[in-house]
Structure formats: structure tokens, C-alpha cells
Structure 1
Amino acid sequence: MRVLLACFLIALAAPAWADTVWLNNGDRLSGEIILLDGGKLALKTRYAGQVLIDWKDIDTLSSDKPLLVRRSGFDNEHSERLAAAGSGMVRVQGVREYTLPLAQITRLVPPRPLLEDNVWEGNLDAKLDMKRNQNDVDEWKLKGNTRVEHGRWRHVLSGELEHETKNGRKVEDNWELEYDLDRFFTQHWFWRGGIEQSEDEFESIQRQRIVGTGPGYRFWDDELGRFDLIAQFNRVRLESDVDDLAFNTTSLELDYKRLLWGTRFEFYANAELQVPHIDEIDYVLDSEFGLRYRVNQWARLSLLYELDQVRGQGRTVADRHYLIGIGVGW
């Protein structure tokens, strides 16, 4: 009984996966392989957090968990496990077993089930701008998004809050909140229904509400990032002190994220193009492109470019913003 109890406690204390990396200088590191991309292997350790290792500095490695192996000039191959081999080599074990030179491997990614339970991720970025010259200007902006997946359902919540004062007088005060619910029918196809509302105290259109629904297609979603395209039919309602206006639109939305340089950098893009079913407006574009630097597991430095554009009656009105801020991610 003592032996069984000891083995049970050791199993509980041990990590779910035990991956080992041997370096050319003889050092050995143990942990969990996150991914290999861009010549960098991201290894999560219990003693130093996530570390990045140059792929050329690795002598061999082993992994007890399934990995997608990308070879130069080949598609991804599924491996059940990797076993250490000779110097500069690794043994790939799966449907077939063979020895592969490390120099031929360009990417390692743990396969993620496209329909899995209890996935929660998100980001929260903040920007503060304070100017003290002829005019005292205080401006802050808060942007965030989060998504929860369970089974065939996905919940997506995003919001934005902006506030600005000039010489103690409020000159900008607006907020925006959007909620989307996705239902997956296959590994790639899903149906989305969503509602969005925004309010601006200092614009002629003080309140905007959008309700929409339509199909979406997920090209991929794994440890490296995701890429979704969604087409929707929407009902838009604009409210102001003068009059209210309601009309229909057709929209196409893009959601893209890609980790770079061994997960240190994250490039993301969100864009929505709406075509109103009225003669006065040709299209409305709401887009943002950003780059985040991951300081550690939760802290982020972010650089964001926003482009909002409206075209109608032969005129184009564009609003551009460049934001630098700090944030958290999970």
C-alpha cells in the first residue's frame, strides 16, 4: 500500500507531459513543448517559466505528447511521440516510424481539437495620454476582448471605453460593447448571431445598435493563432436628438491572430466591412491592426493602428488612430 500510495502521489505531482530537450553544449532542459516556429522552440518549464531556444542549438529532443510536425516542403505529419536519436536527429513515432534530421523540421505544434471544452482567452489593453502645455489634456482608452469555447458553442465579448478632458472639461466620452454567439456545425463551419451597441456623448449620432446573423468559416485555430471569416445580414438603428434611422446592411468580418518569433510577438487584425442597403452610404469600414510583445505569461506591450472609414455621396471620411499601451493577456 505504501508503494502504491507513493506512486500515486508522484503521478499527481508530475506534469501532464514530460518533454526533454538536449542542447549541443550538453545541457538538458525538461518541461512542455509549446511550439516551434520561426527557428525558436518555446519550452514551458516549472523552474524558469517559458524559455525560447534557438533550434540550431538543439542536439535532440523527446516528447510524450502528440505533435504536428512540419517538414521543409511537406505538409504537416501527425506524430504520437518523439524519441531522442543521434546528434541532430529525432525519432518520429506514429502511424509510421522513422528518423528525421532536426534541420528538416520547420514547425512543431501541439494539435488542438477544433471543438474542445473549456477554452478561455482574452486581452485587455490600456492607453493613457497626458499633455501639459498651453492646454492640459488627459486622455485614456481601454480596449478588451475575451472568448469562451465549450463543445460546439463559442462566446465572444469585446468592448471599448474612451474618455478625454481638456482643461478640466470633458470633450470625449464614448463606449462600445459587442457580444457574439457561435454554433459550430462542422470543424470549420459555424453560424453566428450577435448584438452590438455603442454610445457617444459628443457625436450627432448618440446611440447605435446593430443586430446581425450569418455564417462563418474557421480556417484554423491552434497554438500559432486563428483565422475566421464571417458574413452577416444586419439590422442597424441610429438614434440622435434630431431623428432616428433604421436600415439593413450586409457585412464581412475578419478575425486574425498569429504568434511570431516563438510566441514573443503577436500580430492581430480585426476588420469589418459593412455595405448599407441605402443610397446615402456606400460602405463603412471599421478595422484595427496591432502588434503585441509578450513580456511574460500575462503582461503585454501593444502597438495598435485603427482605421475607420465611411464612403457616401462621392465623399470619403477617414479617422485614424495610433495607440501605444500596456495590457494583460490570458
Structure 2
Amino acid sequence: MLLRILLLTAFVGLALPVSADTVWLNNGDRLSGDILLLDGGKLALKTRYAGQVLIDWKDIDTLRSDKPLLLRRQGQGVDSKRSEHSQQLAAAGKGMVRVIDATSRTVPLASITRLVPPRPVLQDRLWEGNLDAKLDMERNEDDSDEWKLKGNTRVEHGRWRHVLTGDLEHEIKNGSKVDDNWKLEYDLDRFLSEHWFWRVGGEQQEDQFEFVTRLQMIGSGPGYRFWDDELGRFDLIGQFNRVHFDTTAGDLAFDTFSMEWDYKRLLWGTRLEFYSNAELHIPEIAEVDYVLDSEFGLRYRLNSWARLSLLYELDQIRGLGRTSSERHYLMGIGFGW
């Protein structure tokens, strides 16, 4: 008897439809999948049969979702804390949707400017990252082969976050090596509250063809997370650092104060990603006023893992009344997770 009950329960479970979000279009079509987000007038829907599709918000008649969503409506401002929370959305009349939480209310679709699945700031088993590659081969007056790898990854569990970034660059011109350098940085964050955290980190760089052949740095300081959700993130960190240089003329050690930001924002549904990272150092030496290391980039998502990337790097140092800048433009392909 028990075996029959278990078998019956299994068959009933298999027969039940898989829960999914549903979108009804103005032309009468109906699409099922998982709502990823609404932003910029585009609804990103992940379907089983066509992957991720972007739907113009104005082409939607109504929709239904059984999962919690954060809504932002016209006139609510930019503060995410002013977003409305819904446990589910129910289909209503043409151009309307019913928002169900502690209460139930019907609102026009046109009044909704953003839908985002809620993502706790502190959560377990979050792993993301990107790896971008650039290859440049020239066969003109000089034969030149240059390649560069840039990668980063973040792992979060509970109140801890691990951030690892690295660069690797190699160039050969006319059979001779002219550039060979690498950089690796690891940061460990401990969240003290929903927004505040404390960071401890270290960095090492090596370059065979520069005056500074090796840089080692350790630092620590407070950070503040403004937001981190499905649309992006923004962190600001201040640190006190100890820096050690190995140069062709000898060793040098000094302290710096630094300010760092980490910004990412998804645009055009989830197809386009804008990101920016920068670190500004104020050294405690008279010869140098500041050192800036920054990058600004765009990634276009070809599919769930492949990316086309465009990156602009600006490295700047000012001291003794002069400013020296290096600018790099990189275009390549990579993958993300």
C-alpha cells in the first residue's frame, strides 16, 4: 500500500506543470519562461526553447509571475529602498497587472519602469567572474605579436567575500621580447552590516622591462556597498597601504592612502554591460602627488557565456609639477559566469 502511494505521488508530481512566468503580448501570443528583469523599456525573459529574449514593454498586454519581484514605478526615484515588493504578479485586464503582497492592487503596466528579482546582499554560494583576451598581430615594417589576458572573479558566502583579479601581458617584436608583465591582487571582505564591510588585501606586480621591476602592496580599510543586485553593483573602499618597490636602482618602501571604486551596470536588457574600476593612491612621499589606475569598459553578451569586450585604460602619475599618462584601448573576446 505504501509503495502504491509513493508511486502515485511521484506520477502526480511529474504530471504537474513546471512553474514559470507567463507574458501575454498585444498580438495574442503567449510566452513562458523566467523573468530576468525589466529595464530600459525591455523585458528580459529566459525561455527553454529560445534562450533569452528581449520584449518591448509596450508590446505586453499583461503578465503573471509566481516569484517575488521588486517593482519600481514612475515617480519613485532612484533609491532602491523605495521600490515596491511583490510576492507574485497576476494577469489583469489589458495593459494592467495585479500586484499581490500583503495587499492586492491593480496597476497599469505603463507605470512600471523596472522589475528585478530580489537578491539578498549577503548570501551563500555566489560565484561570478570574467576573463577577457586580446590578440594583436602586425606584419608591417615590424613583426609584432602581442596578447593580453585580464580576469576577475568574486566568491561570496555568508558575510565573507573573496575578490581575485589578474592581468598578464606579453609582446614580441621582430623575434625579441619587448614586454612581459603580470599583476595579481587578492582581497578578502568581511561584511559588518548590510552595506559596511572591512577589506584586507594584497597585490603583486612584476615587469621585466620597467624601472620598477616588482611591486608588493598590502592594505586594509573600510568599504561601503551602495547596491548589489541583478542590474549591477557599486562599492567604494578606502585603505591604508604599505608599498614596497624593487627597482633597477634599489629598493623603496612607503605608505599610501587609497580610494577605490568598483561599478557595474547592465544595460539594454542584459545584453550590454558597462563597468568601471579605479584606484587612486596618495603616497606619503614628497616626489609623488598621486597615482591613478583606472579602466572603463563595455561587454556585449553574445550568449549566456561569450562576450565581446571594449576596454579603455588610463594610468596616470603626477609628481614634481608634471603629469605622466598612459592610455590603452583594448578590444577582444572573453567569457563570463
Normalised to the residue count of structure 2, the TM-score between the two structures is 0.95
Q: Distance in 1 between matches of 2:188 and 2:36?
A: 29
Q: Distance in 2 between matches of 1:3 and 1:72?
A: 49
Runs of at least 4 residues off by over 3 Å: 8-11
Question: For residue 11 of structure 2, what is the aligned residue in structure 1?
Answer: 6
What CA distance in whole angstroms lies between the structure 1 residues aligned with 2:15 and 2:121?
A: 32
Which residue is equivalent to 1:18? 20
Q: Deviations over 1:93-119 (max 9, x none)?
A: 012210010000000001101110000
1:68 corresponding residue in structure 2: 70
Within 5 A, what are the aligned runs for 1:108-123? 108-123=115-130
Taking the aligned partners of 2:163 and 2:243, their CA distance within structure 1 comes to: 20
Could you tell me which amino acid in structure 2 is paired with residue 306 of structure 1? E
SS in 2 for 1:206: strand
Identify unmatched segments of 5+ residues in structure 1.
none
**In structure 1, what is the equivalent of residue 250 of structure 2?**
243
What is the SS of the residue equivalent to 2:205?
strand
CA deviations over 1:156-197 (Å, ceiling 9, x no partner): 000000000101110000000000000001000000000000
| Equivalent-residue separation in structure 1 for 2:26 and 2:42 (angstroms) | 15
Number of the residue aligned with 2:188: 181
Say if 2:54 is the partner of 1:52.
yes
In 2, the alpha carbon distance for the partners of 1:319 and 1:115 equals 38
| 1:256 aligned residue | 263
Counterpart code for 1:233: F
Equivalent-residue separation in structure 1 for 2:68 and 2:199 (angstroms): 32
Cα distance in 2, alignment partners of residues 10 and 24 from structure 1: 30
- The one of 259, 266, 270 equivalent to 2:277 is 270
More off after superposition, 306-315 vs 17-26: 17-26
- What amino acid sits opposite 2:74 in the alignment? S
Compute the displacement of 1:225 (Å): 0.1
Q: RMSD of the TM alignment (CA)? A: 1.0
* Identity between Structure 1 and Structure 2 (%): 73
Distance of 1:258 and 1:105 partners within structure 2: 20
SS at structure 2 position matched to 1:20: strand
Please point out which of 209, 213, 232 is paired with 2:220: 213
Which of 77, 83, 87 is 1:80 aligned to? 87
Q: Deviations over 1:126-179 (max 9, x none)?
A: 011111111001111100000000000000000000000101110000000000
Report Cα offsets for 1:17-66 as digits up to 9, x if no partner.
51110111111111110000000000111111111111011110000111
Aligned residue for 1:127? 134
Tell me how far apart the structure 2 counterparts of residues 312 and 184 of structure 1 sit (CA, whole Å).
36
Where 1:296 maps in the other structure, the secondary structure is coil
| AA aligned opposite 2:244 | R
Q: Aligned with 2:212: secondary structure?
A: coil
Which residue is equivalent to 2:233?
226
How far, CA to CA, are the matches of 2:113 and 2:53 in structure 1?
18
Q: State the Cα distance separating 1:283 from its structure 2 match.
A: 0.3
User: Equivalent of 1:195, from 196, 202, 212?
Assistant: 202
Counterpart-to-counterpart distance in 1, 2:292 and 2:15: 56
Mapped partners of 2:141, 2:310: distance in 1 = 28
Cα shift at 1:10: 5.0
Tell me how far apart the structure 1 counterparts of residues 234 and 316 of structure 2 sit (CA, whole Å).
23
In the alignment, the residues of structure 2 paired with residue 275 and residue 10 of structure 1 have an alpha-carbon distance, to the nearest angstrom, of 65
Equivalent in 306, 313, 321 of residue 299 of structure 1: 306
For 1:144 and 1:160, locate their aligned partners in 2 and report how far apart those are by CA, in whole Å.
7
Aligned equivalents of 1:54 and 1:271: distance in 2?
A: 35
Q: Residue 13 of structure 2: SS of its match in structure 1?
A: helix
Q: Which of 94, 99, 102 is the equivalent residue of 1:95?
A: 102
AA at the equivalent of 1:7: V
CA distance in 1, matches of 2:185, 2:336: 19
Match of 1:105 among 98, 102, 112: 112
